[in-house]
Structure 1
């Protein structure tokens, strides 16, 4: 699995950005929003139960990520058409403010090393990538356990200080100064 200090892989994927079929699909690559921090979070399957709680959680915090010059991208191995159908079907996903990427060929998941060895789906992985494309944070949860988008935001805040940040540090707290 690629981890902290690795370059995030080059990719180009279809994404869903709207419920209107005429403008629903766009191509997204590692070059999209170049120069920004990026949050990539992966979920196992559309039309499931834990995943929409996380996806809507990231959606609710999207404006906070944008204030920090960070772009959020959600991704699974489902097709863009399944993403669109789920987005239209699930009330908490109707107005998502970020793209839902489709890694239907499993290429990005394989390159990251997050394709579940038994289920063949994306693991519940999260990456924070800096403006130079370097992975600065990685977490992977069990397929049955949702992640906390607030913790991802807190970690982004800490990384953006460029300083030493204590356990449970929050934006506005003092950073650690070494004498």
Structure 2
């Protein structure tokens, strides 16, 4: 079953952000766009490259009113230790959620049960707490924060402009489409 346009399930978790531990719930997401960025584990290989890429683009996401939440089945203590020891992870200013029980990971359908870790799942959540974008990659395939940023801009555009859609490779400021009978067979 697709998660598109479904509301995120309630959760409560401990997180690490800006040198502090804090509690995060689904209520923290309401009223703003969010990205939940699941990854397999701290202290690994592809994961820090992805999280660093997101850290490098975090300011651009913030300008769009988007909060980033990275999530793994590690604890918030492990997130802090990784942050303190890795040059790549030290760059992170966004929230790193610990999900050692796997509740959030299962809620989003990305738990690899026999390993107790998450798939590489990316979820863009709108201001109403509904999932608008779902992307899941195999473990060895890293994601690109620039492409995610483009998709978030498209999702925000479509949300703000009912009746318009963004075609493939659409970038901010480019022409959109208004689906209608007149366009059928002409694209």
Q: Does TM, normalized by the shorter one, top 0.5?
A: yes
Q: Is residue 2–residue 113 contact of structure 1 (8 Å, CA) maintained in 2?
A: no
State which structure, 1 or 2, has the greater radius of gyration over its C-alpha atoms.
2
C-alpha RMSD over aligned residues: 1.3
Give the corresponding residue for 2:25.
Answer: 29
Q: Is residue 29–residue 127 contact of structure 2 (8 Å, CA) maintained in 1?
A: no
CA shift digits 1:84-106 (9 cap, x unpaired): 11011100111311010000111
Structure 1 residue 109 displacement after superposition: 1.0
Give the corresponding residue for 1:133.
Answer: 129
Structure 1 residue 148 displacement after superposition: 1.1
Give the corresponding residue for 1:16.
Answer: 16
Structure 1 residue 73 displacement after superposition: 0.5
Q: Is residue 29–residue 129 contact of structure 2 (8 Å, CA) maintained in 1?
A: no
Gaps of 5+ in 2: 159-163, 183-187
Work out the number of aligned pairs and report it. 175
**Which has the larger displacement, 90-99 or 132-141?**
90-99
Alignment of 1:84-163 (within 5 A): 84-162=80-158, 163=164
Q: Is residue 2–residue 112 contact of structure 1 (8 Å, CA) maintained in 2?
A: no
Note closer, same or farther for the CA distance 1:176–1:131 as it changes in structure 2 (3 Å cut): same
Structure 1 residue 137 displacement after superposition: 0.3
Q: Is residue 71–residue 96 contact of structure 2 (8 Å, CA) maintained in 1?
A: yes
Give the secondary structure class of the aligned counterpart of 1:32.
helix
Alignment of 1:73-88 (within 5 A): 73-88=69-84
Distance 1:140 1:38 in 2: 17
Structure-1-length-normalised TM-score: 0.93
Distance 2:2 2:157 in 1: 24
Q: Is residue 80–residue 102 contact of structure 1 (8 Å, CA) maintained in 2?
A: yes
Distance 1:155 1:140 in 2: 14
Give the secondary structure class of the aligned counterpart of 1:27.
strand
Give the corresponding residue for 1:56.
Answer: 52
Give the secondary structure class of the aligned counterpart of 2:18.
coil
